[in-house]
Structure 1
Amino acid sequence: MTSRIHIARPAAAQSYSSDPHGLSNSRSPSGFRSVNPSEADSFQEKLRAYSTQIEDYIEIYSQPLKPHLPSIGRFLIVVTFLEDAWRIMTQWSDQLWYLQKHRKFPWGIAHFFLAFNVITMIVASGAVITKRHTEYATMALLSVVIIQGFGYGLIFDLTFFLRNLSVIGGLFMVFSDSMVNRTKSFAGLPSISETDRKKYFLLAGRVLLIFLFLGFIIQGSWSIGRVFVSIIGLVACVMVAVGFKAKWSAAFLVVILSGFNVIANNFWSVHSAHPTRDFLKYDFFQTLSIVGGLLLLVNMGPGGLSVDEKKKVY
């Protein structure tokens, strides 16, 4: 985490027989099959028909991977914490020197700070992966993000701030995924449904996840390709935040961020003694965590507080 300090549906379907010959598969027909885009009455209907068709293709071809998406997403979200814990352990003396020399930590406090971060990140990450006490584990990892921000003096760094907002969004997605449909009752108060709470955490997670891409937009030198990718990515980010075609836009961002991560944060191509390697590795694993949160969004959907869900009602 922050301890990376280098010391050196369209129109309703018309009535028809869904399976006149008894040969249908188990998957129900989707909306786009009832609309011929070439015969649609308006551009909006054509666009709606084509977008629904794309969603259908994504749904069909992602079926083999879909059962594994929650596990993959959880692992990717915590991989940056695991890598950070490993790096602290392998650079223990350098970390102590930085905290004591530059951050003015007393001798014992510096040791306790590092030990607390390492133990918390390893234990909580393992709990998230194994789905044990996930709510407590996500809160512990959230505390690590905050503590490290203040401990290493990076809380007011804009790049750090935007990236860690996205990591927090990923943790909110894990928290939402761990919630079950139960109701907590308190004397004299209305019952509070976990489903209702889940909607709000999903909304917060969706919004926070996009801050990594916003950080990418405001940094670096501009080119025609960068402008094009930024505009397309920004549209996808807004779609994720408001929950419009959220699964499609989240899947699109997964592809974009994954490609960008491999190309721009290729730390393996930098010599181990070079100071840039640590920063590239930091960016690489944090981007993996945001990709994990987007995968959970693809799996769970945007939740009740979204345009997609409101369209089902109206």
Structure 2
Amino acid sequence: MNTITTDNKSLQQRLKALKEEKNAVILAHYYQEPDIQEVADFIGDSLELAKKAAQTSADIIVFAGVHFMAETAKILNPSKKVLLPDLNAGCSLAESCPPDAFQNIKSEYPDHVVVTYINCSAEIKAMSDLVCTSSNAEKIINSIPEEKEIIFAPDKNLGRYLIEKTGRNMLLWDGACIVHEAFSLDKLLELYKEHPSAMIIAHPESEDHILKTANYIGSTSGMLNFVKNSDHDTFIVATEAGILHQMQKDVPHKTLIPAPAKEDNTCACSECAFMKMNTLQKLYNCLEKETPEILLEESLMKKAHLPIQRMLEI
């Protein structure tokens, strides 16, 4: 686990004081660096963060996550100032679904209900009938009348998993998250041989061959709850390695092993370079200067709000 330096602790204290002074709230995704998670008012997965963003009374929302998450917070709070520490913190999955190309598919299948995973741009949300997260995707799909055909975008791996779970034959957009496609099956099986009593837990954005090995498949918060409530003491975790910080805090007595990536890297796990673009210093700077700010056209926010609101109602 990463340690938090003395300098970072000092910066965290200054950040907390600045937050109070400006009536700001910091929302952080589980995949953020530990020192950012430690200073956040709320840490969660996409669904929890969307709900928290909708409920906040703060004047300023600082979103320690990636671009589409900050956009979602702005859509739910059009009158509030929403800041993102680094505007370049994008998402490979969101970028795999360009609005023009998606509009062509929509036009080709005009009678299909369009369900989009929250990991997409505001423009794609505005073209959707319903938005979902990995926590509630199955529930959202099951809420659609069986006679209705469905387009699901942008994550094909989550889409395939949902087809299997719900029995619905959906038209899938060919998009994926590079982090969840980076897991090596061969290395995972080798690791499992070393830890035969371990349970493998995986995020449904992972490829099918990884999901087939898993004892549990679920959203980020689902995995956290599973590990907390399980009698097992060793887990191999197939999702972005940032989750291990909160998970280890929840279960300090259990052994958590990140699932290995295909590429050799410093942590031998799968990390999201976009998520890691945010730093504690950038977080402080962005709140102090109140920039970079997420700005969206009012008409776009109204269109994108509808499918998110339908999701929250369901």
TM range (shorter): under 0.3
TM-score, normalised relative to structure 1: 0.27
* Greater C-alpha Rg: 1
Which structure shows the bigger proportion of residues in strand conformation? 2
State TM-score, norm by structure 2.
Answer: 0.27
Greater helix share, structure number: 1
